[in-house]
Amino acid sequence: MNFPFRYQAMLLAVILFVVGCNGNSHSEDLVMKTSIKNSSLVDGQLLSCPGSPNCVSSEGSQGRSHVAPLAFTGPAPRAWQDLQEVIVAMGGHIEEVDDHFLRATFRSSLFRFVDDLICRLDDENHSIHIRSAARVGYFDFGVNRKRVEEVRTRFSTKLSP
């Protein structure tokens, strides 16, 4: 069925409105860019996900937004380096990294929306906690969960002999 152009344009406008409505203001984005590490951790753990379905996290989140942390054996610095290589190979851009904290961004191919991937190395428990969330919009159609599972798959493959 072929719809007239004006209906197609209205549908696109509605989709962009729904995807873009998340309540964040520009000033919140500026704060996020200047102090992302401090605003991403609460008592040393990753922020839990909000009630929206566009986020998954291994810390502080329960139910449908929960994912397991990445497990590793061997030296923590090597696992941390492997994770960074996986993220870059997947098209992520590492924005900030230190010995125990990492923030990377991914852009969607069509509308160029930005998603944040934040990781915390827990070398004592041989795990890496991970959180992936859309910056804008309410729905992400499972993109962040799929991304974390792809990171998990590639990371575990990299650790295999």
Q: pLDDT at position 140, please? A: 86
Q: pLDDT at position 37, please? A: 57
Determine the 3-state secondary structure of 84 from DSSP. helix
Which of 55, 54, 84 minimizes the C-alpha distance to 155?
84
140 Cβ contact list (under 8 Å, min separation 6): 53, 54, 55, 115, 134
Contact 115, 143 (CB under 8 A): yes
Write out the H or E segment, with its range, that includes residue 70.
Answer: strand 70-71
Query: Which tens digit of pLDDT belongs to each residue from 70-91?
Result: 999 999 999 999 999 999 999 9
Domains of the chain: 23-159 (3.30.310.80)
Does 67 or 8 have the greater pLDDT score?
A: 67
Query: Which tens digit of pLDDT belongs to each residue from 15-32?
Result: 544 444 443 433 333 334
**Residue 37: other Cβ atoms inside 10 A:** 14
User: Average pLDDT of 98-112?
Assistant: 90
Q: pLDDT at position 27, please? A: 33
pTM of the model: 0.74
The dihedral of CA 37, 43, 46, 51: what is its sign?
negative
